[in-house]
Amino acid sequence: MKVKTIFFCTECGNEMPKWQGQCPFCGAWNTIAEQPKGAKRNGNPVAGTTTATEKRNKPQKLSEIQVKNEVRFQTEFMELDRVLGGGAVRGSLILVGGEPGIGKSTLMLQICEYLCKTAKVLYVSGEESEQQLKMRADRLAVSCHDLYLLAENNLESLLEAVRTLNPDIIIVDSIQTLYHGESNASPGSIPQIKECTMTLMQLAKGEGITVFIISHVNKEGSIAGPKVLEHMVDCVLYFEGEQRTSYRILRAAKNRYGATNEIGMFEMQDVGLKEISNPSKMLLSGRVKDAPGSCVTCVIEGIRPVMAEIQALLVQTNFGNPRRTSNGLDYNRALLLQAVLEKRGGFMIASCDVYLNVVGGLFLNEPSIDLAVILAMASSFRDKSLPEDFVAIGEVGLTGELRSVNHLNERMAEIRRLGFSKCMLPAEHSQKDLRVPDGLHLIYVRNIREALLAVL
């Protein structure tokens, strides 16, 4: 009997009847892979459990639906709770993605100690044995009574354990190691990942069990990535950071129960992850004084103001085409600001290699950082440092004008709290009623020429 196969894109997960060089859905090249077509499953995908469809077999009025009082539960990590929107929602499906070794399993095992005080937790690992999990828990000083460990790769065995134990929270580490026995696809393939995630989603919605799914992301974001799962889950968290450094950033890419622009910051230590309640101080801790090409700004991440240092390095190129590099900034936005600096600011940087960097691993896409990028590049070009206690905030237009920004009172409070005494703002804010902290001097400018003359 000939085995039927399907073709799918490892970048976006869409299926197609035949192989193609380019995916017609996402436009990626050389990402089409072939897998055996999985056998269709008969009956209820979650055998022995009651799905949400069976419980609600007819439409209900919104006003008649009863919601329990305790909808969310805390995880003890305030940074994680903030990213989740105030805590995890009961009966939700949460995807935690990141590169291997970044600290996803460590974070999930650490929150178990607090969760087990009020709930029964089942930790399912397809990568480690129970003894290895116990050794890692001892190293992290995790000791709890209602934490159950299960080393299993088979989905049916996992569901059997759930029916026997009846846990409140399930942690699956990782979804790439889980497989369904009735599917012919190999574990970790797109069909297997989608099949297992769909079953876990029905389990979470039908039984009201909160499910955390850990998924690995490689640098190309291809087959190991959780992109194909984002539409299934309720919340997508990405754990980011360089493995050579100790700092980690937790960011929400999707959240049905909260904002998606919140971030949480952690530090990887010998005894596990430690949350950083003051990320601004951490990001500016290694700042060099009187260094040309450095400018500090303040951005809003969710509801929290965060200080960030933007560095620029401009050097004369020895080649015909100057190099342009940006780390932590949008590349096209960086090119736009370089053109504005040359045309409106009068700085001839066309023959210079330009390197831009945001310290600490942050990626800033807020337009309020434009003025700081402009001043950092001008400072490096003239080899003259900006004042040590100086912060720049403002959006720059193509004509060189400065536009107003939002949440300015919160930004100024954070700026002054960290000891800065000078803040450059667009002149439009001079007509507004601001709560200026004591000791903070505001410098109003209308365009980048006035800004450059004021500090350089």
- At 258-278, the pLDDT tens digits run 888 788 889 998 889 999 888
Say yes or no to pLDDT of 151 above 50. yes
Q: How confident is the model at residue 41 (pLDDT cuts 50, 70, 90)?
A: very low
Q: Is the pLDDT of residue 48 over 50?
A: no
Q: Give φ, ψ of 450 to 5 degrees.
A: -65, -35
Q: Region 184-203: what's the mean pLDDT?
A: 84
Average pLDDT over residues 341-361: 93
Specify the 3-state DSSP secondary structure of 174. coil
Given this model, what pLDDT does residue 57 score?
A: 63
Region 277-299: mean pLDDT is: 89
| Topology of the domain covering 282-455 | Ribosomal Protein S5; domain 2 (3.30.230)
Q: Tell me the residue ranges of DSSP E strands in 328-394.
A: 352-358, 390-392
On the question of pLDDT at 67 being above 80, the answer is no
Read off the pLDDT band of 37 (50, 70, 90): low
- Cβ neighbors of 2 (< 8 A, separation 6 or more) are none
- Does residue 86 or residue 222 have the better pLDDT? 86
Question: What pLDDT digit, counting tens, does each position of 397-438 carry?
Answer: 999 999 999 999 999 999 999 999 999 999 999 888 899 999
| The pLDDT of residue 52 | 43
Contacts 24+ apart (CB under 8 A), 279-287: 279/306, 279/360, 280/305, 280/306, 280/307, 280/414, 280/418, 281/307, 281/418, 282/247, 282/360, 283/307, 283/308, 283/309, 283/359, 283/360, 283/362, 284/309, 284/359, 284/418, 286/359, 287/359
Q: What is the mean pLDDT of the chain?
A: 86
Domain boundaries, the chain: 1-37, 72-277, 282-455
The pLDDT of residue 26 is 78
The answer to whether residue 346 scores a pLDDT higher than 80 is yes
Indicate whether 42 pLDDT > 80: no
Q: Is the model's pLDDT at 82 over the cut of 60?
A: yes
**Are the beta carbons of 219 and 99 closer than 8 angstroms?**
yes
Binned at pLDDT 50, 70 and 90, residue 107 comes out as: very high
Report how far Cα 42 is from the mean position of its chain's Cα atoms.
Answer: 37
The answer to whether residue 16 scores a pLDDT higher than 60 is yes
Q: Judge whether residue 39 has pLDDT over 80.
A: no
Most confident by average pLDDT, 190-204, 257-271, 432-446: 432-446
Q: What pLDDT is attached to residue 416?
A: 94
Helix, strand and coil in the chain, % to nearest 5: 30, 30, 45
Encode pLDDT of 233-243 as tens digits.
999 999 888 76
Tracing tokens 């560095």 back to the chain, one arrives at: 311
**CATH number, domain 72-277:** 3.40.50.300
The per-residue pLDDT for range 215-254, each reduced to its tens digit, is 987 655 444 456 778 888 999 999 888 767 788 889 888 9
pLDDT range class, residue 74, cuts 50, 70, 90: confident
- pTM of the predicted protein model: 0.76
pLDDT given at position 224: 47
Q: CB-hemisphere CA count at 13 Å for 129?
A: 2
